[in-house]
Amino acid sequence: MTSLIASDHNPDDLRRRESPVFMSGNLPPDVPEVFDARYGAALDSALSRRSPSRLIGAHQYRGSDRDRAAGAAFTGRRLGTTPTPERVVVANGTQSILIQLLSGLVPRGGLIAVEGLTYPTIRTFVQTLGIDVAPVAMDGEGIDPEAFEQVCRTRRPAALYTMPTLQNPTTVTMSTDRRRAIADVCRRYDVSVIEDDIYSLLPTDAPPPLSAYLPELSWYVLGTAKSIAAGLKVAYLVAPDEESAKARFWPGVRSTYWMVAPINAAVMSSLVEDDGATAIIDAVRDEIRARHELVTDALAGIDHRTTPESLHVWLPLSADRTAADLAAGALAAGASIGTSDTFYFGTGTAPEAVRFGVGAPPDRAALERGLTAVRHAYHR
C-alpha cells in the first residue's frame, strides 16, 4: 500500500514564504474567522443535497440548473437585474472563460482591442490563438473614448477586452458616463465586449457594469478569485442570449477545458443561497480597508494610485527612476513587486511604474514589512 505524506504544505503558495514578502501577486487576504465556517457549512450543504457519485459523475458543460440559477443571482447583484439562468455559464475560473471567448469571438489573424495597460495573461492567450492586439490609450478613467473610436474606425476590432472597475494594474474605475460612451462606440461599430468585472464586488459604490448598457453585445464575466478565494475556481459568464451561451460552451468546441468541478460549483451555489458569499466578501473588504491604512502611512509623501477597496497599488515613478530599479531595490530589501512592462501592450517603452498587492501578504505584519521594503527602495 502506498503511504501518504501527512502534510498539507503547498510549495506553490508563495504568500506563505517568509522572505521576500510576496507582493507581486494580486490575491484577496485570508479571512479565516469568516471563511472557514461559511465554506464548511456550504460544503456540508452541497454534500447533503446529492449523492457525491451523482454530483461528480458527469461533466457540466454550462453548469447544472441550480448552479446557473445561483450564478444568475450572483451576477445580478452587479448587473442590476437578474439574467435568465439560460444565459449563464459556470466555469472553472475567469481565465478559462476568457480563452474560450477569445477563440470564439475573434478569428485567427483577427484583432482585439485592449487597454494600453492590462491583465498580462491576455498576451499569452492572443499569442497562442494567433490574434492581433490593438492597444487603446487610457486616461484617469480608463479607456479614452476618442482613442477607442479611432481604433474601431481604422482597425475594426472584433472585440474589446476591458476591466472597467478597479482596473488592473492602474486601479482606475470608469464613471457611468464613460461606460455609456464606450458602449455607444461598440454599438456603432458592432464590437463585442468581454467585460472582466472580477474586482467589482469589493467597492460598495461601483457603477453598473459596462455590460448593463450594451447587453446585446456583451459577455459579462464575474469571477470569485479576487473577492472570495483564489483557489475556489468558480467564475460566471453572462452571455448576450441563451443561444450564444450554448454555441460557445459545448463539447463540440473542442478547444480547452472550461468546465467547473461540480463540487466547487455546488459549494459556491450554497454560499450564494445562504448569503455566505456576501459574508466572506464583506470580511475581505473590511480586511483590505484595514490594510490600506498601513499603505497610507507607509507611502506618505509618495505619489501612488489606489482606493481603500483595491487589492493593489499602482505607483508611477519620476523620469529619473525605472521600474526595474525600484523592483530590484524592493527585492533586496525583502519584497517582490511587479513592473509596468508586464502589463504594457502599447508600442515603444512602457511607462515607468510598479504594481504591488495589498492582499497577497499572509497578514498585516508581513504587509508592513513589505511596505517598508518598498518605501526604502523608493527613497534610496
Q: Do residues 173 and 166 lie in contact, with contact meaning Cβ atoms separated by under 8 Å?
A: yes
Neighbours of 84 (CB within 10 A): 12
DSSP 267-308: HHHHHHHTTHHHHHHHHHHHHHHHHHHHHHHHTTTS--B--T
Whole-angstrom Cα distance, residue 187 to residue 213? 10
Q: Taking 90 as the threshold, does the pLDDT of residue 355 lie above it?
A: yes
Report which of 353, 305, 345 is spatially closest to residue 143, judged by C-alpha positions. 345
- The contacts of residue 112 (CB under 8 Å, 6+ apart) are 102, 106, 126, 131, 132, 133, 134, 157, 158, 159, 160, 161
Q: Do residues 21 and 366 lie in contact, with contact meaning Cβ atoms separated by under 8 Å?
A: yes
Q: Taking 90 as the threshold, does the pLDDT of residue 17 lie above it?
A: no
Q: 218-237 pLDDT, tens per residue?
A: 999 999 999 999 999 999 99
Q: Taking 80 as the threshold, does the pLDDT of residue 8 lie above it?
A: no
Q: What is the DSSP letter of 13?
A: -
Per-residue pLDDT at 12? 66
Per-residue pLDDT at 344? 97
Q: 183-215 pLDDT, tens per residue?
A: 999 999 999 999 999 999 999 999 999 999 999
Q: 56-92 pLDDT, tens per residue?
A: 887 888 999 999 999 999 999 999 999 999 999 999 9
Q: How many residues does the chain have?
A: 380
C-alpha cell at 297: 502611512
Residue scoring higher pLDDT (162 or 256): 162
Average predicted confidence (pLDDT) for the chain: 94
Rounded to an integer, the average pLDDT of 345-365 is 95
Per-residue pLDDT at 52? 86
pTM above 0.75, yes or no: yes
Q: Where are the domains of the chain?
A: 15-33+277-379, 41-274
Report which of 98, 91, 90, 71 is spatially closest to residue 82, judged by C-alpha positions. 71
Q: Taking 90 as the threshold, does the pLDDT of residue 128 lie above it?
A: yes
Q: Taking 90 as the threshold, does the pLDDT of residue 32 lie above it?
A: yes
Rounded to an integer, the average pLDDT of 24-41 is 96
**Paired strand residues for 89:** 237
Q: Do residues 234 and 90 lie in contact, with contact meaning Cβ atoms separated by under 8 Å?
A: yes
Q: Taking 50 as the threshold, does the pLDDT of residue 1 lie above it?
A: no
Per-residue pLDDT at 53? 85
Q: Give the ranges where the chain is alpha helix by DSSP (H).
A: 32-49, 52-56, 65-79, 94-105, 121-129, 145-155, 176-189, 242-248, 262-273, 276-298, 323-333, 364-379
SS3 label, residue 320: coil
Q: 235-276 pLDDT, tens per residue?
A: 999 999 999 999 988 866 656 778 899 999 999 999 999 999
Q: 37-59 pLDDT, tens per residue?
A: 999 999 999 999 888 888 888 78
Whole-angstrom Cα distance, residue 84 to residue 72? 7
Pairing of strands 312-316, 235-238: unpaired
Confidence band for 2, pLDDT divided at 50, 70 and 90: very low
Q: Taking 50 as the threshold, does the pLDDT of residue 4 lie above it?
A: no
Per-residue pLDDT at 10? 73
Check: CATH 3.40.640.10 for 41-274? Answer: yes
In the block, residue with C-alpha cell 478597479:
166
Confidence band for 19, pLDDT divided at 50, 70 and 90: confident
Q: Do residues 98 and 221 lie in contact, with contact meaning Cβ atoms separated by under 8 Å?
A: yes
The answer, yes or no, to whether the previous bond of 20 is cis (omega within 30 of 0) is yes
**CATH class of the domain comprising 15-33+277-379:** alpha beta
